[in-house]
Chain A
Amino acid sequence: MKFNSDEIASVIQKEIEQFSTHIDVRDVGRVLEVGDGIAQVYGLSGVMAGEMVEFASGVRGLAFNLEENSVGVIILGDYLNINEGEEVRSTGTLLSVPVGDELLGRVVDPLGNPLDGKGPIVTSKRRPVEVIAAGVSERQPVHEPLQTGIKAIDAMTPIGRGQRELIIGDRKTGKTAIAIDAIINQRDSGVKCFYVAIGQKESTVAGVIERLRETGAMDYTTVIVAGASAPAPLQYVAPYSGTAMAEEYMFNGGHALVVYDDLSKQAVAYRELSLLMRRPPGREAFPGDVFYCHSRLLERSCKLSAALGGGSITSLPIIETLEGEVSAYIPTNVISITDGQIYLQPDLFFAGVKPAMNAGISVSRVGGAAQIKAMKKVAGGLRLDLAAFRELEAFAQLGTELDPATQARLDRGYRMVELLKQGQYRPLNVIDQVLVIFAGTRGYLDKLPTDRVAEWEDKFLKFMSDQKSEIRKELAEKKDLDDALTAKIRAAIDEFNTQFVGVTEHATVTV
């Protein structure tokens, strides 16, 4: 291939013909000091908060601190090329990022520049990174479910489209895994996904991208990366950029899912910026407006009213706690902003309960409104039952004699815990979830040894899809359980149980 220089020449010629000279009016300032991703600028008296400024070297920045005699600018780019005394000009525009379908399947930095080596992103559409969230009259209550494909979550802490559900837990408790599973499960739902990686190791992010690619989830996902080596300003801006990209779908009647992984690192980046700007530190040295930093971000996730197209942004912010300390500053802030939290506990994780969700303190404030009717019926009291089981279990460990009713409750609990375990990257269809949870909560597994629950589940689902596909079809159509359908499911489970036990006994005899 060779470049066609004639074509280029004609484009340039046209541009020159159209070029008109005019006087360039600009407000300027001079760099007083620069370092650690921020610059102090003298002058720029007309600049507005949040306005983009441009350094003489071409690097862009954001007016962050307006002081009496100087302006604090956060630098979005390479600050090592900026010198003291350099001219800075205001641009009169706000920071914006490219948006649209062209971004799907791409890995970009928080300014929308591609990082995946797949060439430029050709889109003329842009959206401002910081916008004010939709008001009360522009919204409607959350009512459509966003299926994560994870039994424990869809049954006990359901997430609706437009909801903000926090995933909180210590390091290495499977927080990212839940978010990735939720993304993978959106394959057929038409929900566009945005994974915002903030302050993470680049190798971890590469692993996540690879996993999304393998499962085909990259077709509808954009990954926004501000890794651990990215300067603090980019880490701070990343979640807002991701939301701006998702808003393009929401405001056009579509649905989007944004994962912020994780907001504690963003808070740390914001603290770094604020301290460098000499803003007064508050609790845990965070600036006073760190709550606003998160609330204005998460308020942008919502379900728009039907008049505005009914689009939505669902967000899954992730917060990492230290030693299970949920009452630290940032966790309490984000817990109070979001519509519920999924709390992951290390001891459950190490005991092999994955996802390691603590049913007792995990909640979804949207609740049953975000579930299909069938799920609401089968999983109604599941969360409370499981929480009660955990208490009972602790009590039973004391070795006291238990009455048969308590023992039965314990047995049911052990089996439900087994049933809610789920492998990573294996999201389950909501119909299958309803079937297995129905079997569990209605006591069909009570006689089964706990170590065979997983096997039972696999075989049962296979049996249902192979031999009883009409039941699955009916359930998928109705999305509700009426008496007739319930009877059919009961009969199917009984039939399968006879087979399953028969096979087991046969296997035992032959051994």
Chain B
Amino acid sequence: MLAGRYYDGRTSRAHRVQLTVQDGTALLEGEAERAVPLDALRVSERSRHAARKVTFPDGATFEPDDQHAFNSLLEQTGHQDSSVVRAHGSWRSVFGSLAAIVVVLALAYFFLLPLLADRVAQALPASAERQLGQGVLEFLDRRALAPSALPLQRQQRIAAAFAGLHAPHDGAPPYRLLFRKSRIGPNAFALPSGDIVLTDELVQLLPDDGAVMGVLAHELGHLHRRHMTRRLIQGSAVAAAGTLLFGDVNAVLSGLPALALDLHYSREAETEADDYAAEMLEDNGLSLSSLEAVFKVLGQLDKSSVAYLSSHPLSEDRAARIRARRGD
């Protein structure tokens, strides 16, 4: 016998009742009288701290006073909780879930997502990628870049030399080489639109045109490997997952890990572009020492902390990777 309150679903009146179970039928007696077969009733899920109720087919509810007595009554009548609810109750499945989450997330982050993003990026027509970068160059020209002050002859010599090199893999995208004077320090970058921007400051820092070829090959690598699109896909996926998991607490907090995780993808893309550049120089019979010279220059820039963030691997590591390649 179980004391509790019964609400008929039509008014908020609390009826004092007693619940008994006889031959598969629930009987209510007291201020309300009812007899309903057990399998027509719905019982809310088991939990230690929340109230469990019985819901009748017409929406009426019974709320027992004593939850423990109610739980043992349910056990006697053979009530089974769903598997998910049983999982909530056991610490073993809780720690199992935690371990499984870590494994699944790590697999997705290190293997699945890069693979998927690569496939999608390769399948995307080049014209779609161009759309992504629309307007970026105009914006940069207005804010951060000025027309190049490099002698036209030098510009033409660099452009002709790079045009004379062939890509290490088939299907290299068309590109446009642009010379600009920079207000943000020495830099070179590729835009999804296919524009490779080379700043005067970087050209002047590099020892010779061979090193410039290394930089340009690196940027062509970014274009060829569709790095912008891949990072856009990966970045959105990571951000979406972060919001899904932790978004209901703090928007800024959920964004931070996404930012940190994106840097890993960024460094990976840089390494891939370095390898591409090395392959391209080798294929064209050029010395890798010029690429090494680039990293030496960048290494000095790191120290004075200009333009290059930790979105790139350490210049020493990049140089070491090239040296190892030469040793092969």
Report whether chain A binds chain B. no
